[in-house]
Structure 1
């Protein structure tokens, strides 16, 4: 899952992209998306239980983020804890969904979070939805119908429902970090929420972790998840986001849900059904349409 961190408007981004960091921003975003996209495959390859994966990955990722945030004073409020719990739930739901349904369904159903962001944003942030927001919601609802149109086992149906619920928890995390970003400065506030979430993941999953067999294979997979899929990916994203427009960040990081099931298909031979593929196209199309339209309509404000 890609963290939802407030990014610059198009006008501001164009102003700051004249230097070397600005020119490298798209490359950094591509690197972040590539690393995030390995999550589904690594989770499926691990023999550990979901809680153990949650704790092990959280422990490694928190260590990496502590190095990245060294010198930053942590300021934790109730909003930080709400955001952290929402992100913790997102991680757990994604791991469970990936184990129970296809990697494609798990990641694309998570990307239906705009369905919840629109009403939550209206209620909590006073952001009034525009016509494009309602159009996006209709497209995403159609996508949902196709995801649940394929024949599913009991586990597959449960996995889809868990993935759909993870879209809601992503929306809560998004709203909280946007609210914090208005007061505390965007990326640092979101990074603190993410760090707190991984700390909570260790606490929640540690008892389960103690009962696992620490084989070289599973240790290696957890290190890949914590250091690269989470830690290094976040560093690339945080490095790029001050120089990227919201549109650029959204479009490039859409590589994650596209590549996630591709790696699983190439390595494990798992392929989503035809209706799920059509649903995935609708979800991607809805998110991209929303980004393109928002960027044209509001060039001088953050999106």
Structure 2
């Protein structure tokens, strides 16, 4: 009987925002506009970092990759979410759910690593300006980006396999907007302590390690900036780090709230909103954050739009 129960769930039902039936049309419009802004904004950043001669530097090479990552990251979640607003069938197959989670985890790991790489780039640029072209050569930058993209693939594939190897029985209702680890573990039967332990290990391996690299980089950066002779020089140096620090704060802050809060205080509706914050809101504002205080990016955007 137990074995039969384990094999009955072949698909999950994503609840999403179906608890608000009268708001489906409005929510669809809001999320569609946000998604289009993400595609257009990050697409423009990719275009200018590839075509504008003034942006052919390591910093903008990383920024172009980061914008492409944001498009991929959001596209794993949003198309299915938009489809569910107009469909009575909100089911997602077992395999599709596994694929969505796997890509979500891989791209999330890539974002952590790429943010760490971008912090290291700022450290070298400010603390070792004379050796910057030598250290951050194009070959080394490509190697850093490739590692960021593929570094988490084996681990996250293994983690996804481990989660979907769990027996699922009883309810197949996934009260979330996409296939994520916490709501999936709630539906699993039996002991999930080993899965929770592996999640902690992976978090330390990628999230904590990348956070420490970012923290170390900016600790090293602060001292040389404060020693600059003029306030204008200090402001200019700090402004090159401001955009990156803002993105780091938004991404890690929202992710930490949802994954590190005590289970007793976590509500499923709150988790839905917070998960959309770091999967949609942050990618939507990234192009604005990186162009708002950057005259070079603004000039490149104007040039591209005029063409």
| TM-score, with structure 2 as normaliser | 0.31
Structure of higher RCO (CA pairs closer than 8 Å, 6+ residues apart): 1
Which protein shows a greater Rg?
2
| TM-score, with structure 1 as normaliser | 0.31
